[in-house]
Amino acid sequence: MNDHLETYEVAIIGLGPVGSALANILGQFDIKAVALDREKSACHLPRAVMFDDEIMRVFQSMGLAEKMKGITEVGGGARFIDADGNTLVHWPRLQVRSPNNWYVNYRFHQPDLENILREGFRRYPKITEKWGCSVTNLQQNADSVTVRYRESSTNSNKSLRAAYVIGCDGARSFARSCINPQIEDFGFHEPWLVIDLLMKNPQEVESRESFHFCEPERSGTFVFLGKKRKRWELRLNPDDTPEEICQPKFIWPLLERWISPAEAELERATVYTFHSTIAEQWRDGRIIIAGDAAHQTPPFMGQGMCAGIRDAANLGWKLQAMLKQGAPDTLLESYQLERYSHVKEYIDLTIQMGHMINRTASAIIAGNATDPADGPQTMKQLMPSLGPGLGVGSSQLIGSLFPQPKLQSGKLLDEEIGNGFALITSMSFQAELIESDREKIEKLKVAFLSDAMVELESWFKSHDIGAVLLRPDRYILGIAETSSDLTGLLAFFKTTEET
């Protein structure tokens, strides 16, 4: 009866950064996808302001890193400062390239970033975008999902069909409501005033650090954004009302110790309630959620958007494996298993940062910072591994992100190996391979690389292994100590086909 419906392999609900990132990934994999957004056009106001080296590496995989460099400023670390000006905690983020070969802290204006992502997926003729389309119903069967939506431009109800639906539709997610999961609540819910300013005379900045003001009367954060913009985030007190506190007559007295109306104009002031939650179920059959639809984190680490883009990178290659290579639907079972604990580590640390800022705790979470008894704490960069999901063997390296050194050719690792699976070996391991091993690798269409670059050889030596099998999202799937282990490592592909 519905054979006339437009049919796609994937429907994405929501065209913010997460949905747009997923559209780029699916476009690269030649997947026919449609993306629907309830708004008539993209939002032109700033919201997210930071991403890290791993996310720049994802943008690199899309071929968009150079354009992202053009709209970003490299940020510095952060300091937690008490009312007397003393540093309680220092989070150093040096402006040097990380093992991912990008900086650990990029600052940006979200409309600029979204424009690049939209231009990116428009390179692919199989990606369709539909604006002003509010999804009203998702009805799935064993083979597909029927998506019903209201098109504002024609004021009409329409439908389409997709093999899978990915809800990247934010905290008010319609897709999540169709799954109707229990929500795990971590208890941090606070209204904060977010103030964005445009500088009247942009000047070179003296410091690239952000500052958290840990003051009982009104805690707050100054966010480094570069020369053109400044942001303050200030916690609401019980006697504040959102309507009044967003007015310029209230805002400028709050900011007077830092900046005046003569120096900047108010671009936006709004009250956000910062949440800390994770949905307990991210998938129901062919309906899947990602980004804020699946999890919400306070902004103190700048990891909200990053977490969503990691979701997209995790999902993208798995959808490609199922839709283009015949992998079983059960491959999707690993999505939440891997992403849940990863994002929860960020949420846990962010909540601890929030308690520190509010002075309801005297220290950042143990294990990620030095002992406060030794003086100001020093935070470390958080680098969690994926939760238990896909893997060959039991190495602790499984689920960790493989570094991206520059090779002898001058190319970065990911530029050399492309966007599929890859076997990376030490030079000595490569020398031990016999012809039948090389034939297996070639038959599986797995990228194969060994390179004498010091960083790569040092990595293998430090871990006392000879080879790693990388997933398309550059996380380690399995390791081999010697060439005799290779058969077991490559058995992953046979196992996946038979599952």
pLDDT at 366 over 80: no
What's the pLDDT at 499? Answer: 42
User: Any long-range contacts for 331-335 (C-beta under 8 Å, 24+ apart)?
Assistant: 331/390, 331/496, 331/499, 332/283, 332/288, 334/389, 334/390, 335/282, 335/283, 335/288, 335/311, 335/389
Residues 146 and 12 in one domain: yes
pLDDT range class, residue 367, cuts 50, 70, 90? low
Q: Where are the beta strands (DSSP E) in 371-485?
A: 377-378, 422-425, 447-450, 467-470, 476-480
Kind and range of the H or E element at 302? none
Instruction: Kindly report the three-state secondary structure assignment for every residue of 344-374.
Output: HHHHHHHHHHHHHHCCCCCCCCCCCECCHHH
Residue pair 132/40 in contact (Cβ under 8 Å)? The answer is yes
Residues 53 and 157 in one domain: yes
* CATH number (domain holding residue 319): 3.50.50.60
Structure tokens at 168: 């990247």
* CATH number (domain holding residue 433): 3.40.30.120
**Taking residues 87-104, what's their average pLDDT?**
93
- Last-in-domain residue among 348, 378, 404: 348
Structure tokens at 238: 């019980």
Residue pair 32/8 in contact (Cβ under 8 Å)? The answer is yes
- Last-in-domain residue among 312, 327, 348: 348
Residues 322 and 442 in one domain: no
pLDDT at 497 over 60: no
What's the pLDDT at 1? Answer: 41
Q: Could you tell me if residue 357 is inside a domain? A: no
Residues 334 and 452 in one domain: no
Tens of pLDDT along 185-242? 998 899 999 999 999 998 777 789 999 999 988 999 999 999 899 999 999 999 999 9
Q: Could you tell me if residue 254 is inside a domain? A: no
Residues 340 and 459 in one domain: no
Taking the C-alpha atoms of residue 206 and residue 254, their distance in angstroms, rounded to an integer, is: 23
Q: Could you tell me if residue 82 is inside a domain? A: no
Taking all residues of the chain, what is their mean pLDDT, rounded to a whole number? Answer: 93
Kind and range of the H or E element at 65? helix 65-71
- Comparing C-alpha atoms, which of 190, 350, 206 is closest to residue 272? 190
Tens of pLDDT along 402-459? 999 999 999 999 999 999 999 999 999 999 999 999 999 999 999 999 999 999 999 9
Residue pair 474/397 in contact (Cβ under 8 Å)? The answer is no
Residues 61 and 159 in one domain: yes
- Last-in-domain residue among 348, 376, 403: 348
Structure tokens at 396: 């602790």
What's the pLDDT at 4? Answer: 83
What's the pTM? Answer: 0.95
Is 26 exposed, middle or buried, given 0-12, 13-18 or 19+ CB atoms closer than 10 A? buried
Residue pair 140/44 in contact (Cβ under 8 Å)? The answer is no
Could you list the residue range(s) of the whole structural domain that residue 442 is in? 413-498
Q: Could you tell me if residue 457 is inside a domain? A: yes
**Domains in the chain: how many in total?**
2
Residues 343 and 423 in one domain: no
